[in-house]
Amino acid sequence: MAALIMKGPEVSAGMKDSLITEAAKLKPVLAIIRVGARPDDLSYERGIIKRFDSLGIKVKVHELPENISQQEFNSEFAKINSDSTNNGVLLFRPLPESLSDNFAVNTIDPKKDIDCMSPVNLAGVFAGDKESFAPCTPLAVMEMLKFYGIDLAGKNIAIVGRSLILGRPLAMLMLAENATVTICHTKTRNLQEVCKRADIIIAAAGKAKMITPVYVNENSIIVDVGINLDENNKLCGDVDFERVSPVVKAISPVPGGVGAVTTSILAKNLIKAAKR
């Protein structure tokens, strides 16, 4: 039997009507702060604007010059952060090497911090506080599994990747759903066996096509969160999709998987902020 392909655009489409309804009532506003014009930042910005336009949500882009001084950056950030017309503030990171994001991280209003930059929100996620904003990518993983009817209670989950913006907060969200979670990394012994025993594998190590058929079984459910370039300079995930997809029960592709859900999660978090 062919694997279920868990497609991000299907998940986003399932969220669209409720987001449009909420946005029409609340009229939320997102402030994006971008320093310079890196191609990946511009691509992400275009994706947000396109998605938010389709939902009827206003986006204000604040483009700051790449050679801005630390003092000027801090001043601009403080001004945007304190603007009562903004419901959410999203700072594109990493900043240029000449700038530190310490001021922004430590002063952003936690109620506007819709992608979990503030230590206050991160601590809330680890404490199980549902009012705190979790990072958008872990939330997108949760939304995808929920959309496809995959109940996490009692499941054994292997998260391959321990970053503070993905692996660790995702583990906390999954624990809250009564899953049993193992966080794996490059020093994990017998990683193949740990993954093969798991019901669900979250691939988030940032290493192209590292998850091969020896890591999985016929009942494996795999969510690929990796974004890499393969040997042909084509976008790929942490999973060798061509070789693994014929073997498993369900799998998300790259591109067209979790990444396609994150802007909808960003909108969902913005609406949550506006409700407050």
User: Could you tell me if 156 and 180 are in contact, meaning their C-beta atoms sit under 8 angstroms apart?
Assistant: yes
Query: What residues are paired with 236 via a beta bridge?
Result: 228
Q: In whole angstroms, how far apart are CA 194 and each of 19, 89, 141, 183, 224? A: 38, 39, 20, 10, 17
Q: Tell me the residue range of the domain where 48 lies.
A: 27-110
Distance CA 33, CA 80 (A): 8
In this structure, are strands 221-224 and 250-251 parallel, antiparallel, or unpaired?
parallel
The dihedral sign for the CA sequence 184, 5, 135, 240? positive
Phi and psi torsions of 63, nearest 5°? -95, 120
Residue 178 and residue 84 in one domain: no
Residue 161 and residue 229 in one domain: yes
Please name the residue that has the structure tokens 């999985």.
216
Residue 140 and residue 237 in one domain: yes
Instruction: Output the pTM of the full model.
Output: 0.95
pLDDT the model gives residue 231: 87
CATH code: domain of residue 48: 3.40.50.10860
110, 144, 166 — which closes off a domain? 110
Residue 47, domain member (yes or no): yes
Residue 253, domain member (yes or no): yes
pLDDT the model gives residue 85: 97
Residue 152 and residue 239 in one domain: yes
Nearest to residue 250, comparing CAs of 128, 144, 142? 144
Put the strands of the sheet holding 250-251 in their side by side order: 4-5, 250-251, 221-224, 200-203, 156-160, 180-184
pLDDT the model gives residue 182: 98
Residue 205 and residue 102 in one domain: no
Phi and psi torsions of 230, nearest 5°? -85, -170
50, 76, 110 — which closes off a domain? 110
94, 110, 126 — which closes off a domain? 110
How many domains is the chain partitioned into structurally? 2
pLDDT the model gives residue 229: 87
CATH code: domain of residue 215: 3.40.50.720
Q: Block means of pLDDT (10 residues each) for the chain, length 276 residues?
A: 94 97 98 95 94 97 97 98 98 96 97 96 94 96 98 98 95 97 94 98 96 98 94 93 97 96 97 95
User: Could you tell me if 2 and 248 are in contact, meaning their C-beta atoms sit under 8 angstroms apart?
Assistant: no
